[in-house]
Amino acid sequence: MLLAQSAYENQVILVKLTATAAEQLNLRSIEGIVTTGLASLDALNRDHRAISMRRVFRPAGKHEATHLAKGLQRFYKLQFAVEAEVQALARIYAADANVEFAQPNWRYHLLRAPDALCLSDDPIFPSQWNLHNTGQTGGTPDADLDAPEAWCLETGNPDAVVSVLDTGIDLDHPELAANMWSNPGEVAGNGLDDDANGFIDDVHGWDFSDDDNNPDDYDNHGTHGAGIIAARAHNGLGIAGIAGGWGNVAGVSLMACKIFPNAFDDVIAEAFVYAADNGSRLSNNAWGGGNCPAPVIEGAIDYFLSVSDGVALFGAGASNSSNPCLGYPASYPPVVAVAALDHHDRKTSFSNYGNWIDVSAPGVNIWSTTIGGYASYNGTSPACAHATGVAALLLSSHPDWTGAQLRAQLESSADNVDAANPGFVGLLGSGRVNAFEALNGAVTPPLCVTYEFSIAAGAWYLISLPVIPDSSAVNLLFPGASAAFEWSQATQSYAQVTTLASEKAYWLLMPQAATVEICGQPLHSYARNYISPGWDLTGSVLESSPLVDHPEGSLIAMFRWNAEMQNYMPVSPFAVEPKQGYWILMLETPSTVTVGSGLARGKGQK
């Protein structure tokens, strides 16, 4: 089994000095901070509390002359006293005149061929084609998750908490009871809110539908999904779950967030917030409908993703349609939308499809747990649970990964299924999720798209970040900035800010001329903004895009700020460019303005 590892070493960066800097280097330690004799580099070391700086390639005795000739003496490892956003720190050092380049100290792992199968002894496992497809149900061999191959590497870790927003979970099921999340700060049955989280006796989760502490299942739906994710494997009982552990070894922890039968906006929204506040980093959601869009639900999802730094996964409806609203909230850009496949890797008759789908997974004749027993179900609900189970294995193996890294690995490691779906090429996401490839596949550094901002001294700029940066701090994104302001449409006033979010618009003042590079995760192609009547600011996304999906006739005017001339210019036709913020005038209330063209698969860069 592979040990859990972070993508890079914490509190460390690697730098390569220029030849001149290396010659002038004079390493000392003053009050615990390393100094170099190079003024600008010493200032950085003080600001970021660098406590150690040593050569990457140690002095090599008889080989030292060769090392010096090849410049190996210019590579150094810097260690810092406090936790820092390592990738942002590397970019700051890379901008110093004494540094040729700087980077995180990336971690690598062994690539293993699937030369072993860890087959579960559960009696129903031979019928679980979705995990190990030998053609036993008449399907195509290997049209599966490669679960037995994956289990030789990882079977799940209790520290990985998966919230299941559904009809509840059978808390006493013999396959699930040992994997139920237990609130570590709560004493069961004493009638007190021991951990002061606002919920009394929330031992295994909460029933948000009836607002009580009993999230037991009443319908089988939630228990079925929970079993796919985390039923105990290789315990001689029933079925095998994807990340439920092995034999007597526990798997991931299941947090029961019961939202049905009264699954209204406010009920669901509170469940997302509870899950994030109490340690869940993955959210499984096999439900849909309601209004499209739903600002309350989207706000709660945004909170979950921001606070947990995790992933929210949704089944992609059950209407055999490409209409994003019929698949909502799966079509909400920040979440992972999951389509359903059969045992031939073909799209099922009930699954949605479209350029907003992210991945696909098995969804036909899927055996799993039910209240007190087992059953086989069809649907995008089991498909979603499969994707969540694979993500849970990834989180177990890589607990330090960000949500963006987990999502990227889940999607990039999927098996392409276009050949089995000639009528849906490019409409089923990156393919069928593959647990073994997700764990064993080469892990590349997170994709970073860089935008350059050229800023004149003393000029105001109306900017927008078209990527999700590693750091949100103004002083890290735009070193030397004297002010940044955000507009509030509600109060009709500006407020100074110290952090910047993607897709929003901000006024920025730089006293000194600068060329700044902003590196970050690519945004999805769509950004929704809820605009009240009157003037408001909106931001941009990754690509040049028109404004779409606003009520006809409600968008009256649009202006951009010309930083060079320091004046406003009208925009026609209505469209946005990356890095720019825009004033727009709306009449309707409430209005939803969607920015984006969908050129990059509708939900993101694939």
Confidence band (pLDDT; 50, 70, 90) for 598?
A: very low
Q: Cα separation of 315 and 348, whole Å?
A: 13
Identify residue 81 by its one-letter amino acid code.
Answer: A
Nearest to residue 242, comparing CAs of 402, 435, 79?
Answer: 435
- What is the per-residue pLDDT for 468? 75
pLDDT reading at 602 higher than 60: no
Confidence band (pLDDT; 50, 70, 90) for 522?
A: low
In tens, the pLDDT along 255-264 reads: 999 999 999 9
In tens, the pLDDT along 424-459 reads: 999 999 999 999 999 987 655 555 677 788 888 888
Confidence band (pLDDT; 50, 70, 90) for 600?
A: very low
3-state secondary structure of 569: strand
Tokens, residue 156:
């799940």
pLDDT reading at 498 higher than 70: yes
Q: How many CA atoms lie within 13 A of 135 on its CB side?
A: 2
Averaged pLDDT for residues 212-235: 98
pLDDT reading at 230 higher than 60: yes
Averaged pLDDT for residues 481-485: 90
- What is the per-residue pLDDT for 295? 76
Q: Cα separation of 394 and 388, whole Å?
A: 10
Those residues with Cβ within 8 angstroms of residue 496's Cβ, 6 or more apart along the chain or in another chain: 483, 484, 485
Confidence band (pLDDT; 50, 70, 90) for 92?
A: very high
- What is the per-residue pLDDT for 499? 85
Cα torsion 366, 160, 387, 376 to 10°: value is: 10
Most confident residue range from 404-418, 527-541, 561-575: 404-418
Mean of the per-residue pLDDT values for the chain? Answer: 87
Those residues with Cβ within 8 angstroms of residue 58's Cβ, 6 or more apart along the chain or in another chain: none
- What is the per-residue pLDDT for 578? 84
Percent of the residues in the chain that have a pLDDT greater than 90, as a whole number: 59
Averaged pLDDT for residues 394-418: 93
> What phi and psi values does residue 556 have, to the nearest 5 degrees?
-95, -40
Q: How far, in Å, are 301, 467, 493, 537, 579 from residue 531 at the CA level?
A: 19, 22, 15, 9, 20
Q: Which residues are catalytic?
A: 166, 221, 381
Averaged pLDDT for residues 507-528: 75
- DSSP code per residue over 360-373: EEE-SSEEEEETTE
**Cβ-count burial of 538 within 10 angstroms (0-12 exposed, 13-18 middle, 19+ buried)?**
buried
- What is the per-residue pLDDT for 320? 67
Confidence band (pLDDT; 50, 70, 90) for 330?
A: very high
Q: Are 571 and 558 in contact (CB under 8 A)?
A: yes
- DSSP code per residue over 326-380: GGTTTTSTTSEEEEEE-TTSPBPTT---STT--EEEE-SSEEEEETTEEEEE-SH
Nearest to residue 393, comparing CAs of 383, 403, 406, 380?
Answer: 406
Q: Cα separation of 373 and 502, whole Å?
A: 46
Lowest mean pLDDT among 22-36, 490-504, 543-557: 543-557
Most confident residue range from 305-309, 384-388, 535-539: 384-388
Lowest mean pLDDT among 329-338, 342-351, 444-453: 444-453
Q: Do you find a cis peptide bond into 333, omega within 30 degrees of 0?
A: no
In tens, the pLDDT along 296-323 reads: 898 899 889 988 989 999 998 767 666 6
Say what the pTM is: 0.71
Comparison of pLDDT for 34 and 548, the residue scoring more: 34
In tens, the pLDDT along 544-577 reads: 666 654 555 567 788 999 888 889 999 888 878 8
Comparison of pLDDT for 461 and 382, the residue scoring more: 382
Averaged pLDDT for residues 396-415: 91
End-to-end CA distance of the chain: 30
Averaged pLDDT for residues 269-286: 96
Confidence band (pLDDT; 50, 70, 90) for 514?
A: confident
- What is the per-residue pLDDT for 595? 61
pLDDT reading at 203 higher than 90: yes
- What is the per-residue pLDDT for 526? 52
Percent of the residues in the chain that have a pLDDT greater than 70, as a whole number: 87
pLDDT reading at 84 higher than 80: no
pLDDT reading at 541 higher than 80: no
In tens, the pLDDT along 137-195 reads: 999 999 999 999 999 999 999 999 999 999 999 999 999 999 999 999 999 999 999 99
